Amino acid sequence: MNRCQKFARLLQLLGQCSESIVYYDEIASVVQRIRQIESIMAPIQFHPNQVFDETKHIVDPIAKKYLEKATNDVHHLIPVKVADDGNCFYHSILLLMNNPTVTTDELRVRTIIELMTNEAYYDSMYSQFIGSVAFIIKAMCRNNTFSELYEISALCNVLKCNIRSIYPKIDFREDMNILNNVFTPAPPVIANCNIEILWSHVLNETAARAANNGAWSPNHFVPLLSSAMHYTSEYENKSPTFPTPEKKTFKNNTPTRIRSPEFECSPSSRRRIDNMGMYSTQSISSSVLQQSQSDIEEQRRVRLDAQKERARSSRMNETAEHRQIRLEKQKHRDQSRRSNETEEHRQLRLEKQKTRNQSNETIEQRQIRLGKQKTRNQSNRSNETEQQRQIRLEKQRKRSEASRVKKKFEKHTFDNIDIHRQNIEIQFSEAEEEASLDNSSTNENIIKKKNDSNYSCWPKPIPRELKEARLQKFLQQMSMSVLADATCGICNVRTPIQQSKKVPLSKIPNIPLLKVSDELKNLITNGLSSLSQHLDGNSTAILQNIQSNI
């Protein structure tokens, strides 16, 4: 099994885990085991290709139109066409990587492992925009699923690079400043290269809006490359040239300016200048992201505080009559909501109320509450009519039946989960064994040669005791006493002696029925007499002996 097949098998295993009811726990368990396989989890060496090659790459004309609507500093870049099968983001990385041993399955598996490993970090960064990792991870485990912010950010850590996300200025979004951003690896990982990715669409803007009720949203990623000419000029411009400085002096009592020679900066100092620029870009992008997050949280907190303050002030100023009216309206609302709720929602509400009451009350308060509730129930039942009693018993019966069905379903679900988990563990152990066999195959011959004295060939010799026991059993079952047979005196059939039964003649009932009849004796005698005429002397003597016995 080669590298591609291993990661395809692992992705298939993660996809099976995502279909389970407790998918998150199973995915976390599989990820923990995959991280222990050192042979396939070695870091990827990523050195991206930044130059467009007409012999290898194809320009994406639709993406080029979307690129024109992005910021002006990226209009010189060239969008390259990649497959639009849902793995377009990973295809874009592979095109920049130019490494045939790496596949989209491997990049997706490594991204899932990175998100599960540093879940708290990614949740704090992007959960308020696209939800928690725990909910997104289920879709990510299925192949050919479109990528989002989580995948871009996690792949920065996997590849140790900065990924600039370029989003066209179409249909303003609140998170536009997040989508148009430079994603950097999470500390302490340091990036060693930069790449650009464009959010695009497989259709032009008009067709995309027509297919999405007039709205536009991306469903495709493409990589951006520089032309060879622009890349060369940009590389040359990175080496700054400094004018020769001049200083003021006096010559023949006349002020003049002369040149003061000074050497150019060393290549190491130029690298330091470039790194300072990269770090400043990272700090700016992270500060923009943190600022937007803090603004959203601040606005939400202010809104909730204002709402609480308004409710508190209105309650303080209301009269007793208004308070009774408010409580009565709230009671009617609660009753109408409870009358329309399903049994499942009712159970959840009661469970939350029970948890809330138990978390705040003491033992003494709990005893008082239960006593009051018992008294209330007794008074209600004593005053209820026969019809109300029948309705209450019917509801209680339905609740009991629903509870029994729920318990059976939970038991059946847990049994299925155990069986599914066992199957997953078996498949994973097989994949792990295959990986370990592949890793040890290169050293197997050397180990055999070195430990030839300790190496035991298969099959092992059969123990002598086992052979003697089998031989003894064969002799017993093939002896003459076991194989001997006899003829039945009644039905004249030969059967093994072990299956036959010896009975004395005195114990056989109706023994005369076994004697030869006179008619049969005469028939045999006449037949033998006619036969003796055609036989020699010896045969005749034999026939006479038979007749005498009859």
Q: 183 with 213: CB under 8 angstroms?
A: no
Give CA torsion, residues 136, 137, 139, 144, to 10 deg: 120
Hey, what amino acid is at 530? S
Helix (H) or strand (E) holding 78: strand 78-79
Max Cα separation, the chain? Answer: 176
CB-count burial class (<10 Å; 0-12, 13-18, 19+) for 304: exposed
Cα 128 from chain centroid (whole Å): 24
Task: Kindly tell me if the per-residue pLDDT of 269 is higher than 70.
Answer: no
By C-alpha distance, which of 233, 237, 238, 241 is closest to 274? Answer: 238
Residue 170 CA to residue 333 CA, distance in Å, equals: 44
| pLDDT, average across residues 194-212 | 91
Q: pLDDT of 411-426, one tens digit each?
A: 877 777 777 777 777 7
Region of poorest pLDDT, from 65-79, 118-132, 228-242 = 228-242
H helices of 132-187, in order, are 133-140, 149-159, 176-179
Q: Would you place residue 194 in the very low, low, confident or very high pLDDT band (cuts 50, 70, 90)?
A: very high
What is the pLDDT of the chain when averaged over all its residues?
A: 78
Q: What is the number of other CB atoms lying within 10 angstroms of the CB of residue 516?
A: 9
Asked whether the whole model's pTM tops 0.75, one would answer no
Show the domains of the chain with their CATH numbers. Answer: 3-237 (3.90.70.80)
Of 172, 196, 220, 221, the C-alpha closest to 281 is: 196
pLDDT top residue among 404 and 282? 404
Contacts of 427 (CB under 8 A, 6+ apart): 13, 16
pLDDT for residue 256 is more than 70: no
Q: At 524, is the pLDDT very low, low, confident or very high (cuts 50, 70, 90)? A: confident
Buried b / exposed e along 170-183 (16+ C-beta atoms within 10 A): beeeebeebbbbbb
In this model, does residue 445 exceed pLDDT 90?
no
In angstroms, the CA 89 to CA 145 distance is 10
Bridge partners (DSSP) listed for residue 495: 486
CA-to-CA distance for 517 and 524, rounded, in angstroms?
11
Residue 169 has pLDDT above 50, yes or no: yes
Closest C-alpha among 142, 119, 14, 113 to residue 428: 14
Q: What is the sign, positive or negative, of the torsion defined by CA atoms of 187, 193, 198, 202?
A: negative
The residue-averaged pLDDT of 190-200 equals: 92
Question: What's the rounded mean pLDDT across residues 519-533?
Answer: 75
Residue 103 has a pLDDT of 92
Q: What is the rounded CA–CA span in Å between residue 387 and residue 252?
A: 126
Binned at pLDDT 50, 70 and 90, residue 195 comes out as: very high
* Position 500 pLDDT exceeds 70: yes
- CA-CA distance, 21 to 409, in Å (whole number)? 13
Give the strand pairing for 194-200 and 181-183.
unpaired
Q: How far apart are CA 280 and CA 276, in angstroms?
A: 6
Give how far the C-alpha of residue 340 lies from the chain's centroid of Cα atoms, to the nearest Å: 37
Average pLDDT over residues 283-295: 59
Choice between 400 and 221, residue whose per-residue pLDDT is larger? 221
Contacts of residue 529, Cβ cutoff 8 Å, sequence gap at least 6: none
Percent of the chain at pLDDT exceeding 90: 17
Q: How many residues in the chain?
A: 550
List, for residues 317-360, the tens digit of each pLDDT value: 778 888 888 888 888 888 777 777 777 778 788 877 777 666 66
